[in-house]
Amino acid sequence: MFKIQTLNKISVVGLNNFPRDNYEVASELNNPDAILVRSADMHEMTLSENTKAVARAGAGTNNIPCKELAEKGVVVFNTPGANANAVKELVILALLISSRPVVAANKWVNTELTGKGDEIAALAEKGKSKFVGPELKGKTLGVIGLGAIGAQVANTAIALGMNVIGYDPFLSVKAALSLDHNVKVSETLEGIYAKADYITIHVPQTDETKGMINAASIKTMKDGVRIINLARGGLVNNADILAALESGKVSAHVTDFADEALMNNDKVICLPHLGASTPEAEDNCAVMAVKELRDFLETGAITNSVNFPRATIDSQIPANGTRLCIPHKNVPGMIAKFTTILGDAKLNIAGIVDQSRGDIAYAMIDVDGKVGEESLKLLKNCEAVISVRPIYA
């Protein structure tokens, strides 16, 4: 019986994919095998030594100490692409409301025209000139990051009649193939900054990307550019963008990350992190997270991990056999150590995979027959081994 602890409210559609005859799922559990989380901060949590994995029902993992967990052999999963359509739709809304000041117009109608009775129609006609804004058609959109979300944004913008320039130094073959052929790809950020009337950001927050929208980068942009950030708050330097808004260099800023400095500014629209706040996205993320945990707990397979390499074995665990799942430090000679121990125990290896990611590696070894406690102990005692988990057929 596997124990799954939930730290937030997780979609029932996803949780129903845990077969209850083999899984116990609850918010309060001792020694869980895995944890399902959305936004709960795990940085100060002390995890049970029994915890083998954490799955984030969403893309961002800033609330999880991924590096520290990797060193303990705990695999952290996320669900890239599961909420892509929800975020894409909000980006399109952000493009529209950054151009057409409908938020300000609605506020004006509700404050200035309330109680005016028969005069409302005439006053509305007289006052509407204050809320003129440009159309999207024919304008140029710069998309920074062409992953699951950025690619969908780019394609939808093309359908709206916009010119689209994308930038992604790590553009995958899958993402490239998903792009509309009319999307142009720039080799540099400067190629976007110089031409884009609108810029939308879709990259993770790292040491390299934090504060990437700042005084220096804004200086190279077109006058009157509109900037949309529904990715991560730290990607934009708030002080610098406020200065640019004040000077008119930036016409509007839409952010999904409310901040005291940005509030009550007529040129800023702050949203309360609504990017993936649709029932469909929550269901999709939960379903994907549950599948990742089940695959890992039941077969040892790792997909969509942010701190471990991708690792799978296509074949089933041998009949009456054992699959060994071994997180270890990425140092030379580890496979030789494992095979020597298993060979000395007269155990035949039916299949083996060993993948690495930075300082961390992960081995999956299929063995004909049951691996005994003595062999497991020898494997665990190997220098640089983090843990050993046998899965028996």
pLDDT tens-digit map of 263-283: 999 999 999 999 989 999 999
Q: What is the pLDDT of residues 213-247, one digit of tens each?
A: 999 999 999 999 999 999 999 999 999 999 999 99
| Residue-level pLDDT at 1 | 93
User: pLDDT (tens digit, 9 = 90+) per residue, 370-392?
Assistant: 999 999 999 999 999 999 999 99
Q: Which whole number is the average pLDDT over 168-177?
A: 87
Please check the confidence at residue 206 and state whether its pLDDT lies above 90. no
Output the pLDDT for position 171: 87
| pLDDT tens track for 60-110 | 898 999 999 999 999 999 998 999 999 999 999 999 999 999 999 999 999
pLDDT band at residue 174 using 50, 70 and 90 as cut-offs: confident
Q: Which of 392, 393, 391 is nearest to 52 (CA)?
A: 391
Active-site option among 232, 253, 294, 323? 232
Determine whether 181 is an active site residue. Answer: no
Q: CA dist 356 to 203, 237, 296, 329, 363, Å? A: 24, 35, 17, 9, 9
Residue 172 has pLDDT above 90, yes or no: no
pLDDT score for 137: 98
Pick the residue with more confidence: 59 or 320? Answer: 320
260 catalytic per annotation? yes
38 is catalytic: no
- Which member of 68, 112, 135, 273 is catalytic? 273
The answer to whether the pTM exceeds 0.75 is yes
Q: Model confidence over 114-148: pLDDT tens digits? A: 999 999 999 999 999 999 999 999 999 999 999 99
The yes-or-no verdict on residue 175 having pLDDT over 90 is no
Q: Contact, 77 vs 55, CB < 8 A?
A: yes
Using DSSP, state whether 86 is helix, strand or coil. helix
Q: Using the predicted structure, report yes or no on whether residue 154 has a pLDDT greater than 90.
A: yes
Residue with tokens 């052999």: 73
Given a contact cutoff of 8 angstroms between Cβ atoms, the answer to whether 321 and 371 are in contact is no
pLDDT, residue 121, reads 94
| Model pLDDT for residues 316-357, shown as the tens digit of each residue | 999 999 999 999 999 999 999 999 999 999 999 999 999 999
Residue 142 near residue 189 (C-beta atoms within 8 A): no
**3-state SS assignment for residue 371:** coil
Active-site choice (44, 125, 187, 260): 260
* pLDDT higher than 90, residue 204: no
